[in-house]
Amino acid sequence: MGTQSMEVYFEEKLLAAKTQFERTIDCKHTEFDDLYPYMSEQPQFFWYKRYVAWQELLTVVGIAADLEIEWKKHFLTKQVSYIEAKILDAKVLDDWYETKEEEIEL
């Protein structure tokens, strides 16, 4: 796999992991729901699903960083700081969708 195709591969994986995480924030259906359909009735399932998606995102970002593949361009500044802090808490969930206009004002 050439350098260019590896970058494209990781960009696709990164965007998929980002989308998966954002779907968990929005309480939308993800692949994880299909793995554990019996768990969807449990209130803690939504938090668990978010943590799994968060860990997937951190893993893909970590591998991309190790391979020196640019990943930050796909995220807002605040999102990059959340990812670099590696801690998923209510603030991340509440502020993840900060708009670009708000970011410019900072």
Burial class of 94 by CB neighbour count within 10 A (0 to 12, 13 to 18, 19+): exposed
The overall average pLDDT reported for the chain is 88
The mean pLDDT of 30-52, rounded to a whole number, is 84
Q: What is the pTM of this model?
A: 0.84
- Quick check: 18 pLDDT over 90? yes
* Token output for 39: 């768990």
Burial class of 71 by CB neighbour count within 10 A (0 to 12, 13 to 18, 19+): buried
| Domain segments of the chain as ranges | 3-105
In tens, the pLDDT along 46-76 reads 888 999 999 999 999 999 999 999 999 999 9
Contact 56, 22 (CB under 8 A): no
